[in-house]
Amino acid sequence: SFGWDRYHSYESIQKFIDGIIEDHKDVVTPFIIGKSYEGRDIRGIKISYKPGNRGIFLESNIHAREWITSATCTFFINELLNSKNPEIRNIAENVDWYIIPVFNVDGFIHSHEKDRMWRKTRQPTTNPKCPGTDPNRNFDTHWSSDEGSSGNPCDETFRGAAPFSEPECKALSDYVRSIKDNIGVYLAYHSYGQYILSPYGHSKTEFPENYDDMLQIAKASYDAILDQGYGTKYRYGSTASVLYVASGSSVDYAYNELDIKIGYTFEFRDQGRYGFVLPSINILPNCQETVAAMIALVKESKSLG
């Protein structure tokens, strides 16, 4: 059966999602944003307990090898629907959650079946030896900025031949645009490094006009993670100032082009000892820390209005 003691295959995660949809028909609505390059459906679920809630959008596993992200995302879904903890009930019932547990489906399967360290999509490029584009550099915002992405198909941060050359990214953009008036927060789950990153990714010297608000919310999440008692320390701030320059990401796209004015990239455990190949003993603690971070994030962003 499905559990959080190990990592699961794509098929197993799909079955988990099917079960969730079946068991919670009254509050869960499945959606499909489109198809991957290899023709698979990119699936998500909307969790809504009542009309009129503001929405939070959450994508996970845009990078194929970051398995801890979909493990944590499925745990979070399960908590939203089944937990009796009043703080979790509060964020489940007073927010509309739009969640895509495995965004880069082709890459995820490739990472499971062929190459554990695969990051990108699977669409061919101009170089037959180097397929795949970094989907988190393919969004149409500061897309050609040289420092924040690569023009070389053999690089891990290849931006693609054009903005939205990847059907997955185009589908995500179209879908989020269609619901953007309901969305107050855009979240992306990544690993690793233990960071809570806000826009911008494209510049170290420019900051969003509401950067202070985003720092305040990030700090609340940081505190909540530390409070879990595992000694897990995150760092927070803008992507470019605390991590590195990265342009054309989904979170920056949502911020700059879709007017979703709160956005974070969560970089989960660890800080490099195991990196992307995080031992499964970490899954549950990472899940607990993330649920605490989500509770704090919702609370703090509400207090800002």
Q: Which residues are catalytic?
A: 267
Between 81 and 248, name the residue whose CB sits nearer to ligand 0X9: 248
Query: From CA 261, how far away is CA 235, in angstroms rounded?
Result: 21
φ and ψ at 193, to 5 degrees? 130, -20
Q: Which is nearer to Zn ion, 122 or 190 (CB)?
A: 190
- The window from 18-26, 53-61, 81-89, 249-257 that contacts ligand 0X9 (CB under 6 A) reads 249-257
Q: Answer left, alpha or beta for residue 246, where phi above 0 means left and psi between -120 and 50 means alpha.
A: beta
63 binds Zn ion (CB under 5 A): yes
Under rule CB under 6 A, residue 71 binds ligand 0X9: no
Three-state SS annotation for 60-129: ECCCCCCHHHHHHHHHHHHHHHHCCCHHHHHHHHCEEEEEECCCCHHHHHHHHHCCCCCCCCCCCCCCCC
Tell me: does residue 172 bind ligand 0X9 (CB under 6 A): no
- Return the residues of window 49-68 that contact ligand 0X9 according to CB under 6 A: 63, 66
Size of site (CB under 6 A) for ligand 0X9: 14
What region does 145 belong to: left with phi over 0, alpha with psi -120 to 50, or beta? beta
Q: Is 187 in the site for ligand 0X9 (CB under 6 A)?
A: no
Given candidates 91, 105, 225, 246, which one binds ligand 0X9 under the rule CB under 6 A? 246
Residues 116-155 that bind ligand 0X9 (CB under 6 A): 136
Q: Is 113 exposed, middle or buried (0-12, 13-18, 19+ CB in 10 A)?
A: exposed
Task: Please tell me whether residue 251 binds ligand 0X9 under the rule CB under 6 A.
Answer: yes
Residue list 190-209, contact with ligand 0X9 (CB under 6 A): 190, 197, 199, 201
- 3-class secondary structure, 200: coil
Tell me which residues touch ligand 0X9 (CB under 6 A): 63, 66, 136, 190, 197, 199, 201, 239, 246, 249, 251-252, 265, 267
Contact positions toward Zn ion, by CB under 5 A? 63, 190
